[in-house]
Amino acid sequence: MNPKVDHDLCIGCGVCSDVCPDVFEMGDDGLAHVKADANCEAAGCCQQAADECPTEAISL
């Protein structure tokens, strides 16, 4: 899986970084970013983060 955050859709709610902090982090711009060393398979929470994002900004 190759997680991506669409910054045109992200509203910075922070759900993804709460649900899946090994993969997503909040940036200084107030939007979610995929961590450089993100590993969806190891983290096991990317799908949940994508499902719970209110604006469907996360693609996998």
Q: Which of 3, 20, 23, 32 binds ligand F3S (CB under 6 A)?
A: 32
Please name the residue that has the structure tokens 């649900």: 19
Q: Which of 14, 21, 22, 47 binds ligand F3S (CB under 6 A)?
A: 14
Q: Which of 15, 23, 38, 40 binds ligand F3S (CB under 6 A)?
A: 15
Regarding 58 and contact with ligand F3S (CB under 6 A), the answer is yes
27-40 as b/e, with b when 16 or more CB fall inside 10 Å? eeeebbbbeeebeb
Residue pair 57/42 in contact (Cβ under 8 Å)? The answer is no
Residues that bind ligand F3S (CB under 6 A): 5, 10-16, 32, 53-55, 57-58
